[in-house]
């Protein structure tokens, strides 16, 4: 079993919801990102999505757009992100999922990327702008390398296509809770619960929910019916506010600890 599969299996046995924080690699720089990742692990994260900075992050709102700009200005490249993963992998077995856009992977070279990502210890890849129908090459390469190609579903996905994507999913399914970009609107758990419960009937893989989850209450509300909750913009704002100050890691740890405590409370 992969690290992703093993993690979700253990959480299911404990009847816990996965906490999946997102941070942008290289914000404020790669060295600090390594410290942030290890802080997330200690604070209770179950999986981590690591954003690969890109100059045109079309699915992201202002908060993560700015994080990408800061990371790129700091000299972050896809090669550097893979080196970061390799470094962190020496210290933790937490599943690490790269999230971003296809252009950096295409420019790096799909075959080379698959080889280097696997060697570094990447567990999953989520490409926001690559439709399933156009992902044949990268999907095959990821499968050969043992890396899960994470599938995105949205409220606007037609049911027939949703069933097809859900049936082919691996690792976990990422349900985008709303139309629009990250961090732009507040989530409405009661509105998305029926869709998530419906999707769970279509697939054997866990279903995580992202976009709009910013507080412990949000995470608890969604965690009551989803297999995982993804928290991105709210965490990235903490990183932006604190930069490289001494308060950064304690503030990150407090936020994530509170989120994990809230999710754990659902089963107590």
Catalytic residue IDs: 49, 60
Secondary structure (DSSP) of the chain: --HHHHHHHHHHHTT-PEEEEEEETTSS-HHHHHHHHHHHHHHT-SSEEEE---S--TT--HHHHHHHHHHHHTT--HHHHHHHHHHHHTT----EEEEE-HHHHHHH-HHHHHHHHHHHT--EEEETT--GGG-HHHHHHHHHHT-EEPEEE-TTS-HHHHHHHHHH--S-EEEE-SSS-TTSS---HHHHHHHHHHHHTT-SS-EEEESS--SHHHHHHHHTT-SEEEE-HHHHHHHHHHTTSTTHHHHHHHHHHHHHHHHHGGG-
């Amino acid at each position: 079993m992969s690290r992703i599969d093993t993690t979700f299996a253990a959480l299911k046995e404990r009847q816990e919801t996965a906490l999946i924080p997102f941070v942008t690699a290289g914000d404020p720089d790669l060295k600090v990102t390594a410290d942030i990742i290890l802080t997330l692990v200690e604070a209770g994260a179950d999986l981590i999505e690591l954003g690969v900075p890109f100059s045109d992050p079309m699915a992201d709102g202002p908060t993560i757009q700015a994080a990408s700009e800061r990371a790129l200005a700091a000299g972050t490249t896809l090669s550097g992100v893979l080196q970061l993963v390799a470094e962190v992998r020496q210290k933790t077995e937490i599943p690490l999922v790269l999230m971003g856009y296809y252009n950096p992977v295409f420019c790096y070279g799909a075959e080379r990327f698959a080889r280097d990502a696997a060697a570094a210890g990447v567990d999953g890849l989520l490409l926001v702008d690559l439709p399933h129908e156009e992902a044949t090459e990268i999907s095959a390469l990821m499968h050969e390398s043992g890396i899960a190609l994470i599938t995105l579903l949205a409220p606007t996905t037609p049911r027939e296509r949703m069933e097809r994507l859900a049936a082919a999913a691996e690792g976990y399914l990422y349900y985008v809770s709303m139309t629009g970009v990250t961090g732009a609107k507040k989530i409405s758990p009661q509105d998305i619960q029926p869709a998530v419960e419906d999707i769970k009937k279509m697939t054997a893989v866990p279903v995580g929910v992202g976009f709009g989850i910013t507080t412990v209450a949000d995470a608890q509300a969604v965690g009551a019916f989803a297999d995982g909750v993804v928290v991105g913009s709210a965490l990235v704002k903490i990183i932006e506010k604190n930069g490289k100050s001494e308060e950064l890691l304690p503030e990150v740890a407090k936020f994530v600890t509170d989120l994990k405590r809230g999710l754990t409370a659902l089963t107590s």
